[in-house]
Amino acid sequence: MNRMPAPPRRRLRPRFGRFIGTGAAVGILVGIGIARATADPAGYSARTTYGYMAIFCALVGALVAAVVAAVVAGRD
């Protein structure tokens, strides 16, 4: 019998940069949504509030996405 060897199984790993970038982008959108839904704080313009919330939520989103990517990578 002439048997063909099975191809080696490729280990698929998540692309951390794409996970983190997607998490940051989603965080920016969530931050802008939160800023629009809340009242403007005294002493800050709406643009400043949008910027601070977008940056903060982008960092949180990137951190959460990095943890998810690490968990997915560790399952293999």
DSSP string, 4-46: PPPPPPPPP---HHHHHHHHHHHHHHHHHHHHHHSPPPTTS-H
Give the separation between CA 73 and CA 76, rounded to whole angstroms: 6
The tens digit of pLDDT for each residue in 25-76 reads 999 999 999 988 987 778 888 888 899 999 999 999 999 999 999 998 887 5
Q: Name the more confident of 5 and 21.
A: 21
φ and ψ of 61, to 5 deg: -65, -40
Q: 21 pLDDT band (50/70/90 cuts)?
A: very high
Asked if 76 and 21 count as a contact pair (C-beta separation under 8 A), the reply is: no
d(CA 73, CA 19): 12
In this predicted structure, what is the pLDDT of residue 41?
A: 77
Q: Which pTM does this prediction carry? A: 0.76
